Amino acid sequence: MLEHNREVAKDMNTDDLSALIENSPDRSWVSSASCGDIGLERLDLFFVDAGRTLSSEAMAICRFCEVRRDCLQHAYANEIAGGYFGGVSPVKRRTLDLDAAMAVIEDEPGSTA
Ligand code: SF4
């Protein structure tokens, strides 16, 4: 299942992501998302090509987002392979389980997670 979702995620765009979030049964946190203010058309800030790191602008948005933990949980619960969720890269999510990823964001200097 996870491998299947990884294949699907390779072709995922921001419209797909928006639909995935909006169709999620636990999306109450979305209304408090810091990235919600930047507009869906700029969600590509959170989807970077392999080998590149997230922009400092996007990292700052995630670091101080009050629903960062919910966002990260959402990515794990829905096995979303692409994009930065909770400010955690897809590569890092593949190598860490949810608890370890939560510990990483909680330990970041200045993090509100
Ligand atoms: S953690 Fe980042 S990607 Fe997730 S909702 Fe907050 S700002 Fe958006």
Q: Which pLDDT tens digit goes with each residue over 46-89?
A: 766 656 666 777 788 888 899 999 999 999 998 888 788 898 88
The per-residue pLDDT for 2 is 38
- Tell which residue, 70, 40, 37, 42, has the closest CA to residue 55: 42
Residue of minimum CA distance from atom 5 in ligand 1 = 33
- Tell which residue, 5, 80, 22, has the closest CA to residue 46: 80
Mutate to test the pocket of ligand 1, among 14, 57, 67 (most ligand atoms within 8 A of CB): 67
DSSP H or E stretch at residue 18 = helix 14-22
Q: Measure Cα distances from 67 to 80, 88, 94 in Å.
A: 17, 13, 21
In DSSP terms, 88 is beta-bridged to: 85
